[in-house]
């Protein structure tokens, strides 16, 4: 939570560009109170001939999916502001290269989200702050996984 998965053709993004994107994505979530260790970014490189858009195998095309668990956009205003933040992250990297990009955002039920077998303590401020400060899942009380 959250997970961004990029589907790209080889050499569309350099290692430095991937690093830049991953850092900006992580920083975007940390700003709103999500520990960095929970932000996951994947770059899947697909050989030419295994990735199609418009019936063609495109060079310089990026498709990515944002998966969110545990939190929903509380209003249309927040949703649109988040979409704007996504565009501000990817546009400086992709637009100068002439890359076509497309994305979807999915919100998944919080009840299905676990970290190290625990229900993350999003609603329990003192515990959540421990996760933020330590930047790791901290085991605690009633949410311990059954062993």
As a whole number, the mean pLDDT across the chain is 89
pLDDT for 54 equals: 82
CB 65 within 8 A of CB 104: yes
pLDDT > 60? residue 143: no
Q: How many helices (H) and strands (E) does the chain have?
A: 3, 4
CA torsion angle 123 129 131 135 (round to 10): 140
Return the SS3 of 72: coil
What does the radius of gyration of the chain's CA atoms come to, in whole angstroms? 17
Q: Given this model, what pLDDT does residue 147 score?
A: 47
The model's pTM is: 0.87
- Contact, 6 vs 64, CB < 8 A? yes
Which is nearest to 66 in space by CA: 7, 2, 21? 2
pLDDT in tens, 6-21: 999 888 999 999 999 9
What pLDDT band is residue 44 in, cutting at 50, 70 and 90?
Answer: very high
Q: Name the token pair of 140.
A: 């605690």
- What tokens does 9 get? 């053709």
Query: What residue ranges define each of the domains in the chain, with the CATH number in brackets?
Result: 3-111 (3.30.429.10), 114-147 (no CATH)
Q: Residue 52 phi/psi, 5° resolution?
A: -125, 145
Please, which pLDDT band fits residue 142 given cuts at 50, 70 and 90? low
Is the pLDDT higher at 41 or at 57? Answer: 41
| CA separation for the pair 13, 19 (Å, rounded) | 10
**Per-residue model confidence as pLDDT tens digits over 77-86:** 999 999 999 9
């Amino acid at each position: 939570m959250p997970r961004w998965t990029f589907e790209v053709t080889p050499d569309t993004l350099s290692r430095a560009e991937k690093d830049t994107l991953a850092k900006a994505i992580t920083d975007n979530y940390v700003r709103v109170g999500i520990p960095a260790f929970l932000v996951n970014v994947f770059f899947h490189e697909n050989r030419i001939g295994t990735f199609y858009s418009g019936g063609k195998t495109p060079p310089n095309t990026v498709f990515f999916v944002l998966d969110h668990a545990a939190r929903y956009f509380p209003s249309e205003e927040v949703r649109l502001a988040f979409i704007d933040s996504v565009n501000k992250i990817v546009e400086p990297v992709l637009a100068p290269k002439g890359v076509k990009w497309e994305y979807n955002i999915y919100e998944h039920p919080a009840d299905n989200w676990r970290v190290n077998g625990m229900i993350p303590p999003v609603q329990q401020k003192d515990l959540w702050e421990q996760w933020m400060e330590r930047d790791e899942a901290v085991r605690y009380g009633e949410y311990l996984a059954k062993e």
